[in-house]
Structure 1
Amino acid sequence: MDIRHLRSFIMVAQCLSFTEAAKRIFIGQSALSKHIADLEEEMGVELLIRHHRSLELTAAGKTLLRESVNLLDRVSDIIEKTRQADRGIRGSLKIGCFGGESAFFPYALKRFHSLYPQISIDLQLLTLRMIETALESEELDLGFVVILGNELKPNKFMQRLIYRVPLCFLMPSHHPYAGEPSIDIAALSNESFILLSAAESDEGIKWFNAFCEKRGFLPSISTTTTRMDGVLWLVEAGFGISFWSKNPTLTRYTHPGISFVDMQGKEAYSNIVAQWKKNRHNPAISLFLNMLETIDKSN
C-alpha cells in the first residue's frame, strides 16, 4: 500500500471534495482521483459514494479514515525516531570503564542523560584487557582506559585524550618516605613494587620498567593483581609500593593506612583515554565525547 495514496484519501475524506483536497495537497484533481481509485481497487472495497456535487464516506471509508490517521501518526513517529538515531539522539551506547574515571564519570553520565534522555547507557566495569577485547569484538561502543606517560602512541583503536593527571606513589603510611611531598623513583630502587598484572596491563609494566631503567635500575615487581582495588589492599597490607593517578577521588576515599607521595619526572603522568573501533558507526559515541569536552574533570 502506497503511503501517498493514504494521505490523498485522508485529505479527500476530510474535505469530502476532490477539488478542495487537490488544492490543499497541490496535485491535479485527476491524479488525486486515480489515487483513490487505485486504493479502492487494491483493497477491494468502495471507500466513497460519489454524488453529483458531493462525496460521502462508506462504512469502509470511515474505518479507513480512522485507522489511516493513526497509522500515519505512527509512520511519522517512526521516521522521526529513525532520524534521531541517525543523529545519535536516540539509541544506545555501550561503555566500558576500569574505575579510574570516578573523579568525573558520575557527573558525565548525569549530564549526558539530561542532554540525550532517549539514548540508553549500558555501563560495564571491566579490567583494561577486557575493555580491549570487548571493543575488538564490538560488544562495547566506547571504552575508557589508562595510558601512562606524557604522550599517546597510535594503536589499533581510535583514541582521544580525556584527562591527564600526575602519578603518585602509594605506600604504607608507616613507610619512611610517607611524609615526603614528592620523590624520585630512584630513591625506591630497593623497594618491592605491586602492579597490575601483565595479562591486564602489559603496556603499563613495559612503561614502568622503561621509566625505572632511565633512572638506573630495574624494579623488583613482587606482586601483581588484576584489579586496582587489589593493588590498594596489598599496599595497605605492607606487601610493597605501587603508583596510580593522583586524582581527588583516590586520595579522598582510600583507607588511612595508605599515603600518597607525588612521583617526580616529566613522564610521570596518567592519561585517561577514550577508545573506539574505527569502523564503529554509532553517532552516540561522538555525542558522548563532545559532551566530555564541556565538563570539569578535575573534581
Structure 2
Amino acid sequence: MNIEYGREFIELARCLNFTEAAGNLNITQPALSKHVLSLEKEFGIDLLDRDRKGLQLTEAGRILFENASAMVEAYDRTKRSINLIKSMRPINVIGCMDDSDVSALMSMTAMIARETRRATVVFNRSVGDPIELVESGACDVLIEYVSPTDMQERGLRCRPFTAAPLIAIVGLNHPLATASEITWEDLRDQTLLKFTSDVTETSWNQISAACSAHGFKPKTRQVSACNNVEFFGTPLRGDVLLWKRTEKQVGLLLETGCRAGVPLVGELSELTSYLVYRPENEQRLQPLFESVNDVRKMLDERKAAKRTQ
C-alpha cells in the first residue's frame, strides 16, 4: 500500500467529505478520488459507500482506517529513526583543501559542527573526477571553484562557500602596473594566462564566464602548472594573471616588489568556491550548512569588533 495514499484515506475517513479532506491534505479532489480508487483496486473491495445520504465507510473501509493509522504511525516512526542514523553518519567532503581560504573556513566549520554535535565532517582525497564522485554518491560534498550553471546542468546544487576578490598580477613594466584599479573592460585587449592544471581549470571557467558577461571572449596564453610553485613562478611575458588577492603567494610577490597587483572592481570581480552536492542530500547536509553560517557570523562579529577598536 502506498503510505501517502493510506495517510490520505485516514483523513478522508475522519471527515467523510472529499472536498474537506482534499483541502486539509492540500491536494485536489480529483487526485484524492483517484488515490482512493487505487486503494479499492488494490484491496479488491469498496472502501466507501457513496450515496445521496453522504459518504460512509464500508466494513472493509473501517478495517483499513484502523490498521492504516497504525501503519502510518509505524512508518513515520521508522523514518525518523532512519533519518537520525543518517544524520549521525559522517559527512564526506572532498575538494580544494590546498586552497588557504577554503581550508581555513572548512576547518572552522568542521570544528563547530563537532562541538555542537550537529555532524562529523570527514575530509577525503579524491581519486578520479571529483564531480562524478558527488554524482555517484561516493562523497557528500565537493568544494570547488565551479560554474553553478555547469553544475545545474549535471543535476547538482551549489551553495557559495568562499568569495575572494580578484587581482590582476602583471610585470612591473606592464601598462596596467601603475593603475589603482581596473575593470573587466580594461582586460578586453589583454592576454590572460590560462593554466591547464586540474586545480585551476574550474576557476578559469568562472573567469571566462565573467569576460563573456562583459561582452568579450578573453585572449589567452595556455600554461601548464601542476602546483603553486609553477603557477606563481611562470614568466608573465607581458600577459596578465588573474587570481585571488587573498592568496599568500600573491602577497609575497607584491611585498617583495617582484610584480605589481591591481585590484579588479565591478561586477563578477570575485572568485567564488561552492559547496556542490546532490539535491536529495540537502536535508542531511543541513548541519554542515548551519555550521558554515555560524562560522561566517563569528568572523563578521570579529571584523566589526576590530573596526570599533
TM-score tier (shorter):
0.5 to 0.7
Equivalent in the alignment of 1:183: 182
Of 285-294 and 208-217, more deviation after overlay is shown by: 208-217
How many equivalent pairs are there?
212
Equivalent in the alignment of 2:122: 121
Given that 1:196 and 1:231 are in contact with CA atoms closer than 8 Å, whether structure 2 keeps it comes out as no
Given that 2:168 and 2:262 are in contact with CA atoms closer than 8 Å, whether structure 1 keeps it comes out as yes
**For 1:33-67, what per-residue CA distance to the aligned partner results, in whole angstroms no more than 9, with x for missing partners?**
xxxxxxxxxxxxxxxxxxxxxxxxxxxxxxxxxxx
Equivalent in the alignment of 1:243: 242
Equivalent in the alignment of 1:293: 293
Higher Cα Rg: structure 1 or 2? 1
What CA distance in whole angstroms lies between the structure 1 residues aligned with 2:265 and 2:92?
Answer: 37
CA offset at residue 247 of structure 1? 3.1
**For 1:199-235, what per-residue CA distance to the aligned partner results, in whole angstroms no more than 9, with x for missing partners?**
7776755554454456665432112446572673254
What CA distance in whole angstroms lies between the structure 2 residues aligned with 1:295 and 1:152?
Answer: 28
Given that 1:148 and 1:269 are in contact with CA atoms closer than 8 Å, whether structure 2 keeps it comes out as no
213 and 122 in structure 1: CA distance in 2 versus 1, 3 angstrom threshold:
closer
The question of 1:91 aligning with 2:89 is answered yes
What CA distance in whole angstroms lies between the structure 1 residues aligned with 2:86 and 2:199?
Answer: 35
CA offset at residue 275 of structure 1? 1.2
3-state SS of 2:102 partner: coil
Given that 1:143 and 1:275 are in contact with CA atoms closer than 8 Å, whether structure 2 keeps it comes out as yes
Equivalent in the alignment of 1:193: 192
Output the amino acid matched with 1:94: N
**For 1:219-275, what per-residue CA distance to the aligned partner results, in whole angstroms no more than 9, with x for missing partners?**
32112446572673254x325322123336565466743443211332323222111
CA offset at residue 291 of structure 1? 0.2
3-state SS of 1:270 partner: strand
Cα RMSD (Å):
4.0
281 and 162 in structure 1: CA distance in 2 versus 1, 3 angstrom threshold:
closer
Q: How does 1:5-154 map to 2 (within 5 A)?
A: 86=85, 88=87, 90-98=88-96, 99=99, 101-116=102-117, 119=120, 121-124=122-125, 130-147=129-146, 154=152
What CA distance in whole angstroms lies between the structure 2 residues aligned with 1:277 and 1:84?
Answer: 17
Higher helix residue share: 2
Equivalent in the alignment of 1:263: 264
3-state SS of 1:124 partner: coil
Output the amino acid matched with 2:289: L
Given that 2:145 and 2:274 are in contact with CA atoms closer than 8 Å, whether structure 1 keeps it comes out as yes
**For 1:106-152, what per-residue CA distance to the aligned partner results, in whole angstroms no more than 9, with x for missing partners?**
322333333339725133378xx933122112221111122469x99
178 and 154 in structure 1: CA distance in 2 versus 1, 3 angstrom threshold:
same
CA offset at residue 292 of structure 1? 0.2
Equivalent in the alignment of 2:163: 164
Which consecutive residues of structure 1, in runs of 5 or more, have no partner in the other structure? 1-81
3-state SS of 1:193 partner: strand
Equivalent in the alignment of 2:276: 275
231 and 212 in structure 1: CA distance in 2 versus 1, 3 angstrom threshold:
farther
- Percent identical pairs in the alignment equals 10
Equivalent in the alignment of 1:8: none
3-state SS of 1:279 partner: helix
Which consecutive residues of structure 2, in runs of 5 or more, have no partner in the other structure? 1-80, 304-309
